[in-house]
């Protein structure tokens, strides 16, 4: 049962490649809709063109209702990584201008998928499980991550709101992978892991600050063990790329808004959001328990008679006037959409708190990711896409559970059952959201999904 086969990692390449194809078909609505104008997706192209001219602005027509006016100049607050990516893409293929969102989002999804596969392999390699058990659990985790996580939603609608999030999510998962690798390797492999971590952490920061900020705090923890391992070279590769990304982020923020906040809502042209943020705060700790209830528990699946048979939509939710909108866009709480991960994360958290269950660095990293969770729970809005920003903590705690293979083995059937439940609920509710509720889905995409679901009259 728990007899190990050496340090052999599970073979997850096949399932990862299969779901790469599945996610491509999902992102491109069956494989044919590649170059599509997503909502405000052209703003990143415009931002990239302005960068080439040495300007931090953006065309007003491209950013439209998300414009921020600073001293009479048009600005946008979204992370710059997708804009930087657009520069070579538009150089290589100019006809794709304004229509790169799906290719961009898919590339991020693939990075996240392979990084998560690496994390699961690393965790299970050190667990006292048989090769067969490792493969079963590893494949179940990959299925859950691909179809029972926010990744599906982020790829189903790669608008300006989701593209920066999926890139931050992808680079964050990759950074966690290389951080874990750097703690178990030596020599040249250690140097490569540190360099990759620093690059991924920096990319996460310039994609979406809430994803990258934790790694700015994690980097010093990784630096501690380098003091007696060629410290100059390894410290340089650890700190220079991430430091350059941090300097770029702060400089860009100051050039955009005259401060280092990265998102000064005083300049937003939307009076509702601007006035609420100024009066009540963009982040507020009083929101944490209410957001926790919304994201983790309250939003249960609702049956409907037509495909996709589970209904997703906005629901009234504004306790004590804490949120900018009197409703939530969370359509499926983690208890239902990612219950497989939540179970493992809860067990992992218990191990982190138990004496001898984890070392000090693991606990410190988990604490940093927990701060990220608190920040997201204190935000003034509620949306399903924000669940992705809770995943670095959940994934890290889940890995602690996998590393202790005895519990993972004992709960293997429960875990696999929860993967099935999560995949069904998350997939069907996500389809329902894209077809019935998401106002940012292009009309032609919605019509095609309606056709696939046998609801052609709604196209």
pLDDT for 3? 41
Size of the chain, expressed as the number of residues it contains? 459
Label each residue of 217-256 as H, E or C.
HHHHHHHHCCCCCCHHHHHHHHHHHHHHHHHHHHHHHHHH
DSSP state of 268: B
pLDDT for 321? 83
The 10s digit of each residue's pLDDT in 2-39 is: 444 446 778 999 999 999 999 999 999 999 899 999 99
How far is residue 93's CA from residue 90's CA, in Å, rounded to a whole number?
A: 5
From 146, 163, 172, 135, select the one nearest 43 (Cα to Cα): 163
How far is residue 102's CA from residue 94's CA, in Å, rounded to a whole number?
A: 16
How far is residue 59's CA from residue 49's CA, in Å, rounded to a whole number?
A: 10
Torsion of CA 422, 423, 429, 432, to 10 degrees: 180
Q: Which residues of the chain have pLDDT under 70?
A: 1-7, 229-230, 456-459
Tell me what percent of the chain is helix, strand and coil, each rounded to the nearest 5: 70, 5, 25
What is the value of pTM for the model shown? 0.95
The 10s digit of each residue's pLDDT in 403-444 is: 887 788 888 899 999 999 999 999 999 999 999 999 999 999
pLDDT for 319? 84
pLDDT for 361? 94
Which residues, other chains included, contact 305 with Cβ-Cβ below 8 Å and sequence gap of 6+? none
pLDDT for 440? 95
- Residue ranges in 64-125 assigned as alpha helix (H): 81-92, 101-125
pLDDT for 230? 67
pLDDT for 7? 62
């Amino acid at each position: 049962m728990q007899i190990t086969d050496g340090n052999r990692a599970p073979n997850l390449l096949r399932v990862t490649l299969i779901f790469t194809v599945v996610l491509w078909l999902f992102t491109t609505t069956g494989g044919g809709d590649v170059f599509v104008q997503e909502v405000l997706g052209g703003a990143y192209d415009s931002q990239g063109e302005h960068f080439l001219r040495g300007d931090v602005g953006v065309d007003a027509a491209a950013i439209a209702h998300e414009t921020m006016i600073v001293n009479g100049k048009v600005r946008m607050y979204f992370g710059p990584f997708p804009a930087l990516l657009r520069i070579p893409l538009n150089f290589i293929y100019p006809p794709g201008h304004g229509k790169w969102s799906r290719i961009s989002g898919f590339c991020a999804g693939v990075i996240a998928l392979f990084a998560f596969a690496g994390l699961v392999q690393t965790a299970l390699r050190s667990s006292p499980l048989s090769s067969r058990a490792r493969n079963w659990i590893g494949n179940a985790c990959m299925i859950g991550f691909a179809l029972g996580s926010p990744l599906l939603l982020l790829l189903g609608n790669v608008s300006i709101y989701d593209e920066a999030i999926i890139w931050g999510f992808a680079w964050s998962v990759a950074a966690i992978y290389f951080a874990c690798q750097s703690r178990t390797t030596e020599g040249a492999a250690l140097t490569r892991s540190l360099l990759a971590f620093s690059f991924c952490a920096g990319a996460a920061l310039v994609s979406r600050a809430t994803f990258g900020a934790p790694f700015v705090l994690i980097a010093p923890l990784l630096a501690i063990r380098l003091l007696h391992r060629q410290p100059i070279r390894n410290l340089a590769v650890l700190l220079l790329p991430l430091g350059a990304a941090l300097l770029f982020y702060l400089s860009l923020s100051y050039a955009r808004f005259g401060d280092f906040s990265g998102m000064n809502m005083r300049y937003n042209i939307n009076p509702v959001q601007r006035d609420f943020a100024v009066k009540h705060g963009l982040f507020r700790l009083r929101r944490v328990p209410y957001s926790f209830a919304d994201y983790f528990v309250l939003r249960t699946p609702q049956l409907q008679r037509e495909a996709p048979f589970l209904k997703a939509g906005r629901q009234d939710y504004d306790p004590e006037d804490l949120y900018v909108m009197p409703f939530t866009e969370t359509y499926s709480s983690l208890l239902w959409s990612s219950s497989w991960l939540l179970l493992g994360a809860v067990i992992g958290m218990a191990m982190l708190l138990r004496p001898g269950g984890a070392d000090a660095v693991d606990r410190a990293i988990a604490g940093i990711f927990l701060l990220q969770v608190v920040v997201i729970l204190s935000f003034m809005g509620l949306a399903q896409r924000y669940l992705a920003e809770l995943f670095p903590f959940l994934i890290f705690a889940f890995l602690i559970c996998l590393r202790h293979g005895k519990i993972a083995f004992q709960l293997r059937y429960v875990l696999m059952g929860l993967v099935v439940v999560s995949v069904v609920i998350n997939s069907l509710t996500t389809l329902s959201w894209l077809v019935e509720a998401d106002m940012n889905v292009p009309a032609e995409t919605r019509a095609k999904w309606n056709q696939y679901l046998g609801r052609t009259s709604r196209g």
